[in-house]
Structure 1
């Protein structure tokens, strides 16, 4: 009786809660629906014994769930379905084994081929991705090691008879290589477990992992690297299973490793494990030279793509150089000797340990914790049953992860792609071994095994469900083309465009492949030994001396003060040779006078509407003789400021000056007034429509509580507490029919929300929001990023500050959650500041600036739901062995890249010490706006709490 009861009550609760959302709440409705569905369940299951229907008991998990939460109901429903599917085993006569395997692989290829097609990047991409599109379309030469095989395959893709750009067709190459990799994973897991359920779960785990999905939908060389790694693993496993019969899989292994090594030498580390595994699996091979011929010939095939590099030496194509046809030039490029200093960069314990912590974050960035636990279980089980294959998978994962941890790479999540293969295979092994483990045990054990494998499948499906909105959003985004096109469309004739690597490649692509603006010169400004911003100043000055207008994609306002004033051009700067004499045609004319003769001529909004939390850019046209402090405020109907920008604008020596303002509205939608002013003078100049966010805000407490007010069909989807500024603020996150927004309550005596739907769709007059038992932080920033880290104050006693004493270490990690896919590279900037007696002036400080997670997880890789932690450690050295400072705020770290903030030996007992943090754009150095008016009214940094210096 319990199974039908669970099904009836589950269906009754789900339907009652949805009925309440759409048609209104009623206890009678809930009773009638639940009673009727329960009776129907008893009728339908009356002929089935509990041993058949016991999985339905899991539905009680949602029946007794304390909150109405459709996502929880979906999870429980998938879990029960997964168990029931496993109970149904089609007879071998229905689908023969060989046909079933082919059908499984084919289904995997079709399913993920369609998934990746619907989320494929629509065209042009920045940075390395843009370079691969460029060299593939032009048969150029990519940066070391050159990737000749990938370049040739990319060129083949451009010949596809599709009405699409070359960039899009090259993106398709990653779709094919990634789906092929998944097909190999399916075959590998099936051959190890003989279970399609296990193979399918492994494929789902890998195919929906964050970085694997991202690489499958963009032009990149990592997907091909993963393919060769998967092929080598498959070949080794099959060779162990069939080595007595044939060496055909050794031939396949040799080809996979050879093509893999010549494609990217990073596979060499896995190759060491593969070689050792082959020695253990088939030692006779190394003692039988007669067996070497066929693998040797297969390996020679992998060398053929290298011929491409010297053949392109001196060709008039991107990336080609004259030295490629010399032995030294070829080896320098193919072996990437220019990057050899990046290998084993993080080897000292003081940096290796935090890097290993980063690697753990890299894995949780990809996979559900349930899947990681399953992978560990599967690999441990494999070690016990077949230690040679366990060494193959576990050893390749461990060695590749360790080497990547020591490698100074700006995109560790991508370098780790081959290591994700053993993780996914381990998940499949866990599914298979769980079933094998209980095959000879009582039915109760069998039920546990079915439940365990169902949990892994459910986790993989939910992982894909959570990642889908981000990649679907990216499918419609043409950010790189929009940025580059704006520059090329507005560049003066014969101008010089100076670009960092991120934007150089899409600019080159548009010029070389789509023949845009052949009159302009596009130059990449590479980092050198000196200060990077000074390099840009020198390049800009040289271009201006040569009589050319110069566009710079890198912005450093402090360093650029020595240069002539520049016009904003999108996110870049335009240094003009000739003064602007006319108002741009796209500007709205104004006739305003501020101060001593400052004439405001017009303005332009780059967009007429903007989502909550995203940036709107307003450009002002004006004339004046002196630097003018302008401000632009975005005002609601009460006159309260919801966004503001203050800019000390420097005038052009002649003509019209253009000045850009950046506004990021917070929390709620509406039509807001734009107020322009300078000093006491101001004027309303227009309006800006702020729309609901299209993606839900990041939250640490997701939920689903519909609002009963029929005029506001809102649903509470999360809440967060913040006590960063001393008081308690609670953020309430709402979903409406048109999108998402957040509201706040400050220092509530009784934090309640009234008139919500409760379980079973029953009305609830008020709901008391759970209060935290420990300090909580939630500081929203622009573009959906939220700081949720810890502060020094969190460790303080009540009514007193924490004391920092010599020989003391405090961990202060910078933690973030993210609400939307990011398209810009942000740097996490952290300071430890010792204040003067006024508690404002900086007496001393130390800094750690860097890409999040010690460079391992750039914000460019973040999607909705990403959680990233950047290690930070505060150290107060002994007075007898103080830290060395080379300048103000510049300490000597014990090892390069160490995320350590030192207390200066100049710190005095009783002195107040504070931590502060902010994010800034790596290309423009502009801080990411903090969307908490309590903080911005006091400082431009997120406060990380204060402490006092002890004796």
Structure 2
């Protein structure tokens, strides 16, 4: 029942397309049977390939989302079944769904644990989108169930089942080792395997057999080389490096600067806070603590209390065998506590992501799903014992507790549903297609930003969107193993082994700089060379021969003197005409599907699309301002004025719709005031032309679709008194700039303050 309910919930809220994070790359490698980023995830890759290649309906991303939904539902069902094993079985009933069976302590505890596990926000999120975590939840839940089953009945077959699933879990997500290691040690002790070498050897062989899925990585690497695959797994050293995640730092989550990362105590505190406030709630925490207390107390003292022929427990007489059996069940349940503590302490000692960064906090929080599964099992045990105790005190006590718990589950589901519903999550589809659609035919796109890489990688590999564009992950080219990947990109030329910093030791060893890569490939691609993200090393030497100009969500490289703002002729304003077409594409694909920030907070990948949209729109406006104010051979007269008006309109729209820009970005106010000031200086333009904005850009706001239209920021009647409106708005904007925190650090601060002083002295006003 838990499986059916969970699966139905997930299918109703499933994302129809690819989400953010690593999902795009993981599914793409599944489509191509390639090698994903370390450690490679061979089990997920194989399942993704079978799903995307042989399921006959839906796009590949949706098919994988459905597979993740099945895995998530299986995880919840296994949580319920594990709780059921650790609670007293209900009395025999004529029907499985009879009240005596359905409302027994065992049923209430197990069903509640499974349902609350299913609707916890993290589990829900990763059960409706394509990531490795739903599969990991299913395998970890299976491992927990196998361990408990073995402890209750320590047979050889139970040992072998646990050994097999331990290896299988490691082929998907390495953090499962933090559960499998203590389970293996406890199993060896419980089954006395050190004195039974044949059984121990068989169990170890089964673990290695399932773990051998990793051997698919070098095999597929040899059979199906293709662009986009990560690492060189063709050699023993390369395979081992990939398996142990050397590129990211073995036993670490973060390869960046972790000097300001929190310590063990604060990390444990954040997990506990998240579980209490978001994932499980205070009720689940209290029930988990009570469940841990009950099973530990019985495990420690139950056997001693059971001496003698018969002992009383409440009104029921228990035999010695029954007391012993109850002690074994409690012992199995009590061992979940050290499993939980082991994971929390070891993981949070090794994890190094800085949790004060909201997005990186979201990345870190995904690894809390594994200990949360144990917490939900313990809470189910606790609830079962609470129901049993309530039944002893009052005939309807158990029914009351059960009803309250199911009502809480229904309330949680109803209130969480709108926020967890991903059925409208096509944001990265619009994002990736918008970027690809803005590029000319036969372009080279250098990507150094994960969000762009993973989403574009999926649509090019799995849905064959814009195969004419060569996309390459620039960060991947910086690894030593890149030398083995160069042949996968026949349209490109690499002037060395791998991308290195200018003047570094790597350059002397045969590496190439970014400038050399540009030199080698600039004329090879008729559509041009583009960059998404920032350079690895922040080098400047390429600027000797090249410039870059805004191009939607990326930048385009041009030779110095060609289209550099204010430095060369652009007859007829061709660049600006091109930008109108580009932002028209972004309007159709990105702006109309921007995520609602009330739903997608700054710890989600979707939030980054909203942030990036306005950042790039602001960059365009800033460049447009420089473009309009440069050499008058670029834009003159009416064209110049129209560019200034468009610049002001774009900046006004970003201030209206983007809270972060409005509150913190003082450069936006500076540039907006500069645009207005130059409108005042222009001659021959005393009337506002609304046609300037037609078809340029729109934004999907909370209240509907807003066009970049003058009616948003130009009051009625301003067309007939255009200069008066511009003058007033100019003064208002720059006054606001002077009052903003941090504005004094801007080199233009003193000059802007001086201009305002002079203007208001000239007109005889002291108001500032």
Deviation at 1:159, TM superposition (A): 3.2
Structure 2 equivalent of residue 939 of structure 1:
740
SS in 1 for 2:58: coil
Deviation at 1:216, TM superposition (A): 0.6
- The counterpart of 2:557, out of the listed 549, 560, 575, is 575
Structure 2 equivalent of residue 464 of structure 1:
413
Structure 1 equivalent of residue 264 of structure 2:
352
Q: Residues 602 and 161 from structure 1, CA distance in 2 versus in 1: closer, same or farther, beyond 3 angstroms? A: closer
SS in 2 for 1:470: helix
Q: Is the 8 A contact 1:157 1:172 kept in 2?
A: no
Deviation at 1:257, TM superposition (A): 0.7
Q: In structure 1, how many angstroms separate the alpha carbons of the residues matched to 2:253 and 2:231?
A: 31
Deviation at 1:155, TM superposition (A): 0.8
Q: Residues 675 and 391 from structure 1, CA distance in 2 versus in 1: closer, same or farther, beyond 3 angstroms? A: same
Structure 1 equivalent of residue 372 of structure 2:
420
Q: Write the mapping of 1:785-800 to structure 2, written as runs, cut at 5 A.
A: none
Q: Is the 8 A contact 2:15 2:129 kept in 1?
A: yes
Q: In structure 1, how many angstroms separate the alpha carbons of the residues matched to 2:554 and 2:416?
A: 32
Structure 1 equivalent of residue 530 of structure 2:
551
Q: In structure 1, how many angstroms separate the alpha carbons of the residues matched to 2:285 and 2:631?
A: 57
Q: Residues 187 and 940 from structure 1, CA distance in 2 versus in 1: closer, same or farther, beyond 3 angstroms? A: same
- The counterpart of 1:312, out of the listed 220, 227, 231, is 220
Deviation at 1:433, TM superposition (A): 0.9
Structure 1 equivalent of residue 713 of structure 2:
none
Q: Residues 610 and 487 from structure 1, CA distance in 2 versus in 1: closer, same or farther, beyond 3 angstroms? A: closer
Q: Residues 381 and 570 from structure 1, CA distance in 2 versus in 1: closer, same or farther, beyond 3 angstroms? A: farther
Unaligned runs of 5+ in 2: 90-105, 300-329, 354-359, 480-498, 505-511, 564-569, 598-609, 660-671, 681-687, 706-732, 744-768
SS in 2 for 1:498: strand
Q: In structure 1, how many angstroms separate the alpha carbons of the residues matched to 2:431 and 2:384?
A: 49
Q: Residues 471 and 934 from structure 1, CA distance in 2 versus in 1: closer, same or farther, beyond 3 angstroms? A: farther
Structure 2 equivalent of residue 396 of structure 1:
339
**Is 1:268 matched with 2:243?**
no
Q: Write the mapping of 1:272-671 to structure 2, written as runs, cut at 5 A.
A: 272-279=181-188, 282-292=190-200, 295-314=203-222, 315-318=224-227, 320=229, 323-341=232-250, 343=252, 351-363=263-275, 364-386=277-299, 388-406=331-349, 407-409=351-353, 410=360, 411-442=363-394, 447=397, 450-472=399-421, 474-499=422-447, 500-526=449-475, 539=514, 542-543=517-518, 546-547=521-522, 549-554=528-533, 563=543, 566-576=548-558, 579=563, 582=574, 661=651, 663-665=654-656
**Is 1:239 matched with 2:150?**
yes
Q: In structure 2, how many angstroms separate the alpha carbons of the residues matched to 1:378 and 1:220?
A: 31
Q: In structure 2, how many angstroms separate the alpha carbons of the residues matched to 1:374 and 1:479?
A: 38
Deviation at 1:322, TM superposition (A): 8.3
**Is 1:258 matched with 2:167?**
yes
- The counterpart of 2:7, out of the listed 83, 88, 113, is 113
Answer 1 or 2: higher relative contact order, Cα 8 Å, separation at least 6: 2
Q: Write the mapping of 1:143-158 to structure 2, written as runs, cut at 5 A.
A: 143-158=37-52
Q: Is the 8 A contact 1:603 1:621 kept in 2?
A: no
Q: Residues 189 and 515 from structure 1, CA distance in 2 versus in 1: closer, same or farther, beyond 3 angstroms? A: same
Deviation at 1:404, TM superposition (A): 2.5
Q: Is the 8 A contact 1:378 1:426 kept in 2?
A: yes
Q: Is the 8 A contact 2:38 2:244 kept in 1?
A: yes
Q: Is the 8 A contact 2:18 2:429 kept in 1?
A: yes
Q: Write the mapping of 1:37-56 to structure 2, written as runs, cut at 5 A.
A: none
SS in 2 for 1:574: strand
Structure 1 equivalent of residue 133 of structure 2:
222
Q: Write the mapping of 1:163-178 to structure 2, written as runs, cut at 5 A.
A: 163-178=57-72
Deviation at 1:454, TM superposition (A): 4.3
Q: Is the 8 A contact 1:566 1:573 kept in 2?
A: yes
Q: Write the mapping of 1:30-179 to structure 2, written as runs, cut at 5 A.
A: 107-179=1-73
Structure 1 equivalent of residue 728 of structure 2:
none
Deviation at 1:334, TM superposition (A): 1.6
Q: In structure 1, how many angstroms separate the alpha carbons of the residues matched to 2:618 and 2:574?
A: 13
SS in 2 for 1:142: coil
Deviation at 1:138, TM superposition (A): 0.6
Q: Is the 8 A contact 1:184 1:230 kept in 2?
A: yes
Q: Deviations over 1:556-597 (max 9, x none)?
A: 9x97999566443333223346657537779889xxxxxxxx
Deviation at 1:145, TM superposition (A): 1.2
Q: Deviations over 1:157-184 (max 9, x none)?
A: 1134433222221222211211111121
Q: Deviations over 1:38-60 (max 9, x none)?
A: xxxxxxxxxxxxxxxxxxxxxxx
Q: Deviations over 1:207-262 (max 9, x none)?
A: 1111111111111112222222111111121222233xx43322221111111123
Normalized per residue, the structure richer in strand is: 1
Q: Deviations over 1:725-750 (max 9, x none)?
A: xxxxxxxxxxxxx99xxxxxxxxxxx
Q: In structure 1, how many angstroms separate the alpha carbons of the residues matched to 2:40 and 2:423?
A: 28
Q: In structure 1, how many angstroms separate the alpha carbons of the residues matched to 2:235 and 2:742?
A: 53
**TM-score, length-scaled by structure 1:** 0.51
Q: In structure 2, how many angstroms separate the alpha carbons of the residues matched to 1:293 and 1:650?
A: 77
Q: In structure 2, how many angstroms separate the alpha carbons of the residues matched to 1:518 and 1:690?
A: 29
Q: Residues 560 and 666 from structure 1, CA distance in 2 versus in 1: closer, same or farther, beyond 3 angstroms? A: farther
Q: Deviations over 1:726-782 (max 9, x none)?
A: xxxxxxxxxxxx99xxxxxxxxxxxxxxxxxxxxxxxxxxxxxxxxxxxxxxxxxxx
Deviation at 1:285, TM superposition (A): 4.1
SS in 2 for 1:575: strand
Q: Residues 573 and 372 from structure 1, CA distance in 2 versus in 1: closer, same or farther, beyond 3 angstroms? A: farther
Deviation at 1:274, TM superposition (A): 0.9
Q: Deviations over 1:767-815 (max 9, x none)?
A: xxxxxxxxxxxxxxxxxxxxxxxxxxxxxxxxxxxxxxxxxxxxxxxxx
Q: Residues 184 and 318 from structure 1, CA distance in 2 versus in 1: closer, same or farther, beyond 3 angstroms? A: farther
Q: Is the 8 A contact 2:228 2:457 kept in 1?
A: no
Q: In structure 2, how many angstroms separate the alpha carbons of the residues matched to 1:652 and 1:534?
A: 40
Q: In structure 2, how many angstroms separate the alpha carbons of the residues matched to 1:576 and 1:330?
A: 40
**TM-score, length-scaled by structure 2:** 0.62
Deviation at 1:553, TM superposition (A): 1.9
Q: Is the 8 A contact 2:40 2:243 kept in 1?
A: yes
Q: Residues 176 and 684 from structure 1, CA distance in 2 versus in 1: closer, same or farther, beyond 3 angstroms? A: same
Q: Is the 8 A contact 1:551 1:573 kept in 2?
A: yes
SS in 2 for 1:186: helix
Deviation at 1:302, TM superposition (A): 0.8
Q: In structure 2, how many angstroms separate the alpha carbons of the residues matched to 1:652 and 1:487?
A: 31
SS in 2 for 1:678: helix
SS in 2 for 1:182: helix
Q: Is the 8 A contact 2:550 2:623 kept in 1?
A: no
Structure 2 equivalent of residue 207 of structure 1:
118
Normalized per residue, the structure richer in helix is: 2
Q: Is the 8 A contact 1:605 1:619 kept in 2?
A: no
Count of aligned pairs:
560
SS in 2 for 1:681: helix
Q: Is the 8 A contact 2:657 2:701 kept in 1?
A: no
Deviation at 1:305, TM superposition (A): 1.2
Q: In structure 2, how many angstroms separate the alpha carbons of the residues matched to 1:489 and 1:602?
A: 10
Q: In structure 2, how many angstroms separate the alpha carbons of the residues matched to 1:213 and 1:554?
A: 31
Unaligned runs of 5+ in 1: 1-106, 590-600, 631-646, 669-673, 695-737, 740-931, 943-951
Q: Write the mapping of 1:920-939 to structure 2, written as runs, cut at 5 A.
A: 938-939=739-740
Q: Is the 8 A contact 1:251 1:298 kept in 2?
A: yes
Farther off after superposition, 335-344 or 387-396 = 335-344
